[in-house]
Structure 1
Amino acid sequence: MEVQRSVTATPRLSASWRRSEDYGIPLDAVNPAFSGGVDSAVDGSLFYECGQEILGGLRDTLSGEPVSMMLTDADGLVLSRVCDESALVSALDKTYLAPGFAFSEREAGTNGLGLALADRAPSLVRGEEHYCTGLWGYTCAAAPVMDPVFGRLLGSVNLTTWSEKSAGLLLALAQTAAGHTSTLMLARGRGAQARPTPKGEVFRVFTAQRDTASPPALGEAWESALAETVAALRSGRTVGVIGEAGVGKTALLAAALRRVHRDHRILNARPPDPRDADSWLALWTPELAKDRTSVIAGGVDALPLWAASELATIVGAARGASLAVTASEAAGIPHPLSRLLDTVVSLPPLRQRPDDVLPLAEYFGEVVRGRAVRFTPAAARALRTFAWPGNAEQLRRVVREAVTRGDVIDVHHLAPEVLCGSSRTLTRIETLERDEIARALAEPGITVTQAAKNLGMSRATIYRKITQYGIRPE
């Protein structure tokens, strides 16, 4: 069935229409999947709680306006809907834009919330810009909600009104609501630190001689993942490495590429802010056209779907260059790129590789210091027994701070966080108190009683705090 549209399509919109066609979405019927209701785990989540509160405030602001406000999860499932106009509610029910129904692009074709989730960017879809004619009567503005600490896509805020109504501030309101949801989550996250925003870096070029220190010999888990990656690259296969943030996925790929393509330049392209994806992509064509070039596209699970599609097209047309990717999990790799992968290698987190901690610490210390550094037995024990939730990147930061104090690192040189094992997130005041106690206990030759006296605490209080914060006195 051919549908005539009287709109001029933007590149993002055209890409979304093509994806909708590939997904087999019917042009004349809206038929999204019904999940049977909102999961209790989602209902009780911090994202849901904060999103509902923000939408409640927005409802008061838009009182009397024909606007439906919705909160969705990362898969496009509508979690909640707030609307005071009965005619709009009735019309939305007929198109199944209601709680319990999934409205991702795969389910309903091009629509506001589906496009916002696919491209991880604020999106406005008006009338005939929708893929399905059943949605032509609406204007939908949506903005993604990102985890303020880990940067994961959590869902979206979607505002829907009649298509003949002015879109005006609709998109701005959706963006504001999404931003306020993230901010409220951070405020209620008990001392959590906001994730750093992208700083515009696109390429970091390094060669086999980029560091003065020799890479360390690591344990079985690392060597096994490295051997699997090397074997795949030597066979001409395209490789993806998955694992937690900071675990060393890019380092693994770089080490494997140096073994297989010794004369290649190795470029590491970090994911851009979705708003900068155009300029980010503009750098790919000339780089991939160069001979003896290997490119590592990091964090592709954070790429807008349209950018992932463009990248896949560029890679398919390139000759003489190779592409490898990293992501947190295989399911998060955008489909256009996952189709290019022949092998996916999983790299375990550092807490499952305790034998790698000290060699990595010594390596990081030598790179920063320019000469060998040594860790005392007590410091080495503290490093090995810490859980390292931030993996190798956290270890690098801790070591970088410690080695500024000398070539021999003892416990009192380490960041207080390494000496603690609290399983809960602390408030800022609790964090300051924990760090002061940990520093006092880490002083050479000090006893718990002396530390309590120096801090102005009773002996009973400091023991209680040691237990409360999971501090491990050396």
Structure 2
Amino acid sequence: MHRVADRRIKIAAARADFLRFGHAETQSVPGVVAASWQRSFSAGVDASTSQAVFHNDLDLTGRLMRCSEPVIARLSGEMAEMPLSIVLTDYKARILSRSETDKTIGTLLDDVSLAPGFNYAEASVGTNGIGTVLESGQPLYIVGPEHFLEHLQPFACAGSPIRDPITGRVEGVLDISCLIEDASPLMHSLVRSAAHEIERNLLVDRSQRQQALFEEYVRVDSRNRGAVMAIGGTVVMGNAVAQSSFSPDEQWTIQEHARYLMISPGQPVDQIELSSGKVVHVRGKRVVVGPDVAGIVVVVEIVSEPAPVPVPASRLTLPPLRRHRLKKPIPADSSAILHDAESLLGKRASSGVVTALTAGAPLLVLGEAGGGKVSLLAELYRQIVPLGRSVVFGAEQLNQHGVHSAINNDLISALARPTLYIFRNIDRFTEAATAELEAFLVTREAGAGGLAVTVSQPDLQADLAAARPYTALLQHFTTSVTVAPLRHRQGDLPDIVTRVLARRAGLRPATVSAGAMRVISRYPWPGNIRQLEEALDTALLTRPVGAIQAEDLPAYCHGGAPRLLSAIEAGERDLIVGALHKADGNRMRAAESLGIARSSLYRKLKTFGITVTDS
């Protein structure tokens, strides 16, 4: 014990000399540590003030995390009696996860930012059991004064690189950290053994998802002469036919639509029109590994191509003319949020509704609540039948007062003008209301006005299997249209925001800044257009004049928390967002104003999905 203490005293003295003079007698210092001190000094690391830098662009669902989780869980269980922390980083020394066996060690590590998201590269925080492992490419045991930074002196850490067994490339580092008084040289052997176990998992896994996707892609490609593409995560593959048949923009559109089909219910088969005018048939097969969908392989066939436009000979030498599409003026009362859609799915919904309404066919409109289904129907009907009107009946109204009563009260007016009856949320109808509506549908089939119904229940197949009351009405419909959720229609957002502001701001010329638009584009809008309207209403109240800024939007817009927050959590989230805005996005100042450790703030940012950028 005395020998260990004497050795640490000598290392501490050598470190003090090195920091003071830039060099020191290092016979008592391991060569790898001395070399690391020199690199840290050359990189400009300040032993007193340097701190880890935070990153939010981490791969938390990748292969390294997947293969490490069972090893870390086992290690945590076996070492439960020791106060230590197990840290996993990526190949850039950015911490992906931290698991501690004792709350106290977790708090102490928060104070030195050894927490998820922070970068422990040697160039940032000097000699340590993560960054120095990556620099040296070997397992290391760094104790107390061997650390370059002052605030890391109380800790001991053992780290080992994790290598891909096939390529030999370092994928990350496994690190075990604890206080010096709890340290043991056995930590070195323990972390090396665990790292090797993770490497074995990597060998077995070798990305089972990618392998399964690749195998399915090869299988489908061998059976088809046409265009074949595979899409999954960050992996995109396409055969020579796909590359030669479609431009990069067309390929991107097909890939994005394939991702939509991959997660949508029903068979992944569709026909879409590309921006070039080509109409393609997409037939896909989902690739499932365990409980997860790894990707989708699609066969793409060109159904039709746009006819070439003849160019008069007299104009062949003239420069091309740029055409500007004139948009229709925004209706004062609009509810017309989708009819000028830019996204493929938005255009498809509008086209499907127009076709059905023009033909007079009873129409079933599916989609998540708040997605603008009724608004779309009413606006497009007004365009098709300028003198017509739309009458909307809600589920609550009809469940309470009955279908016959509500409709009979409206029939006199209906005789004077063409009418589209819209029954909203028939999936919420009682059995009695459903029976009355079915009787009306029979009457309507004899010639009483246009009709459309909406369903906000996305899992129609489950409802059919459960024989919910409204499913008995589906026999009366020959046409259906799906209005995709707002998160799958990002291309429509600028137009939607403009339309919502035109309706909500009155005479005020309301606009949104580029920063606010970035926040709006990043948020997934689980409540769809209805939630967007509420958010913009809040912003208009916050900033009565001038362009809406990012900080004017509600706090939840600045993140995408993966679960519903409690009232206390929502209040905490709002305080954090407010502090960040007051600090101009500077996380360190925001943490100080909130009275919490910087690493604690970053953990809460991740928990609440807050994505405010630094100034």
Normalising TM by the smaller chain, what interval? 0.5 to 0.7
Q: What are structure 2's unaligned runs of at least 5 residues?
A: 1-329, 464-468
Superposed, 1:130-145 pairs within 5 Å as none
SS at match of 1:218: coil
Q: What residue number does 1:343 align with?
A: 479
- Spell out the pairing of 1:34-183 with structure 2 (5 A cutoff): none
CA distance in 2, matches of 1:212, 1:372: 17
Residue 523 of structure 2 corresponds to which residue in structure 1?
386
Aligned equivalent of 1:356: 492
1:271 is matched with 395
Q: Could you say what secondary structure the match of 2:422 adopts? A: strand
Given residue 324 of structure 1, which amino acid in structure 2 is its aligned partner? Answer: A
Corresponding position of 1:410:
549
C-alpha contact (below 8 Å) 1:412/1:444 kept by paired residues: no
Q: Following TM superposition, by how much is the alpha carbon of 1:305 offset from its aligned partner in structure 2, in angstroms? A: 2.4
1:462 to 2:601 alignment:
yes
Alpha carbons 1:288, 1:321 under 8 Å: kept: no
Shift in Å, 1:472: 0.6
Residue 375 of structure 1 aligns to a residue whose secondary structure is: coil
Q: Which amino acid aligns with 2:348?
A: S
Deviation by residue 1:279-312 (Cα, 9 ceiling, x = unmatched): x541112424623121110000111123122122
Structure 1 equivalent of residue 455 of structure 2 = 327
Check the 8 A contact 1:249/1:347 in 2, yes or no.
yes
Instruction: Tell me the alpha carbon deviations over residues 201-252 of structure 1, each in whole angstroms, 9 at most, x when there is no partner.
Output: xxxxxxx966179757322211211111111111121111001111111112
User: 1:241 is paired with a residue of what secondary structure?
Assistant: strand
The separation in 2 between residues aligned to 1:245 and 1:460, in whole angstroms, is: 37
State the 1:410 CA deviation.
0.8
Q: How many residues align?
A: 266
Query: Relative to structure 1, is the Cα distance of residues 210 and 315 closer, same or farther in structure 2, using a 3 angstrom cutoff?
Result: farther
Contact 2:583-2:590 within 8 A present in 1 as well = no
The C-alpha deviation readout for 1:23-68, integer Å capped at 9, x for no partner, is xxxxxxxxxxxxxxxxxxxxxxxxxxxxxxxxxxxxxxxxxxxxxx
Q: Secondary structure at the match of 2:396?
A: coil
Q: How far apart are the structure 1 equivalents of 2:347 and 2:383?
A: 13
Residue 351 of structure 1 aligns to a residue in which SS? Answer: helix
Identity over aligned pairs, percent? 27
Check if 1:295 corresponds to 2:295.
no
Aligned-partner Cα distance in 2 for 1:396–1:222: 18
Match of 1:225 among 349, 352, 360: 349
Partner in structure 2 of residue 181 of structure 1: none
SS in structure 2 of the partner of residue 267 of structure 1: strand
> Given that residues 239 and 325 in structure 1 are in contact (C-alpha distance below 8 angstroms), is that contact kept between their aligned partners in structure 2?
yes
- Indicate whether 1:434 and 2:573 are aligned: yes
In the TM superposition, 1:250-269 aligns within 5 A as: 250-269=374-393
Cross-structure match for 1:173: none
Q: Deviations over 1:321-349 (max 9, x none)?
A: 21110002445572443122120101111
Would you say 1:374 and 2:502 are equivalent positions?
Answer: no
Of 464-473 and 431-440, more deviation after overlay is shown by 464-473
Separation in 1, partners of 2:399, 2:453: 21
CA distance in 2, matches of 1:218, 1:352: 12
Alignment match, 2:406: 283
Compare relative contact order (CA 8 Å, sep 6+) and give the higher one, 1 or 2.
1
Matched, 1:397 2:519: no
Stretches of structure 1 lacking an aligned partner (at least 5 in a row): 1-207
Q: What is the deviation of 1:375?
A: 1.4
Larger-Rg structure: 2
Judged with a 3 Å threshold, the aligned counterparts in structure 2 of structure 1 residues 247 and 212 are, in CA distance, closer, same or farther, namely closer
Q: Is the contact made by 1:402 and 1:414 (CA closer than 8 Å) also made in structure 2?
A: yes
Match of 1:211 in 2: 333
Q: Deviation of residue 365 (structure 1)? A: 1.6
Q: Which residue of 2 aligns with 1:317?
A: 443
> Does structure 1 residue 419 correspond to structure 2 residue 558?
yes
